[in-house]
Amino acid sequence: MTQASPLHPVVLVVDDDPGCVRAIRRALEYAGMGTVAATSLEEAHEALQRHDPACVITEFRMPDGQGVEFLTRSRESVEHLGRVMLTGVVDFLAVQEAVNQGSVHAFFTKPWDNNSLVQGVKGVIEQCRLARENTEMMRQLSEHNRVLEATVKERTGQLEQAKSELEAVFDSWDEPVAIVDNRFTVLRANKAYSRQAGLVVRDVPGRLCHEALFHRESPCEDCPLGREPVDDGPREGRIAQDGNEWRIMTRSMGIARRTGQAALCRYELLR
């Protein structure tokens, strides 16, 4: 089996004239290409499977069929195969139709110019090589995107699961608990907080803590969030509201938000 490589591509020469076959092979091999030959379309089909050529040059009319039909079938069975027509019997309408349908990349007439033929075959092989590489890159890109999509889907599921678990822990507290920034804006609250505020849980984020929970227009006097300097340690304050006394315990979460640092706040009703 003739071995092909990018530097030494193999060309399948199909012609029932032995003299033409020898002349074409000699010109191509002198230019550094490998060649195999077939004197019938039946032999050409076998050679196509055995040698995996980069390009096929075929006579337009062969004793056992039409060369253009062979090239059309070759196009369907071998992806990115260079297809060149070489003939002394010119049927321009048939050749034009083959070119328009993409069955033929290049067309040469007999007698041919060796230099033009060699350069034409090289151009066809390079065109097909680039098309093959582009197809492979697209395949790799598609596979990469498929793996990436699956990974993102898996990670999204994991994050959703973790979020659900954290929300369950957050909502399991009987006391009002919220994540509040240092501008007193509620970022997240549990169900106990929303019940105390008389709001639906999803309507709590974005509200000011003192307005939502204690219906005050200004921050509570002893609120730990209003003290300076801010540190990471726990803080505690007491608030009297509507005859009740609340203890507020806060701890910085070390999370920087657009609105400032966030703290976890727990509200305990003392009396």
194 to each of 142, 185, 205, 206, 231, how far by Cα in Å? 47, 14, 10, 13, 27
Tokens of 110: 């007999």
> Is residue 8's pLDDT more than 70?
yes
> Is residue 254's pLDDT more than 70?
no
CATH of domain 173-269: 3.30.450.20
Q: What is the pLDDT of residues 17-51, one digit of tens each?
A: 999 999 999 999 999 999 999 999 999 999 998 88
Give the integer Cα–Cα distance in Å for 264 and 64.
86
CATH of domain 10-138: 3.40.50.2300
Q: Where are the domains of the chain?
A: 10-138, 173-269
Query: Predicted confidence band at 260 (pLDDT cuts at 50, 70, 90)?
Result: low
Q: What percent of the chain has pLDDT over 70?
A: 88
Query: Predicted confidence band at 116 (pLDDT cuts at 50, 70, 90)?
Result: very high
Could you tell me the pTM of the whole model? 0.58
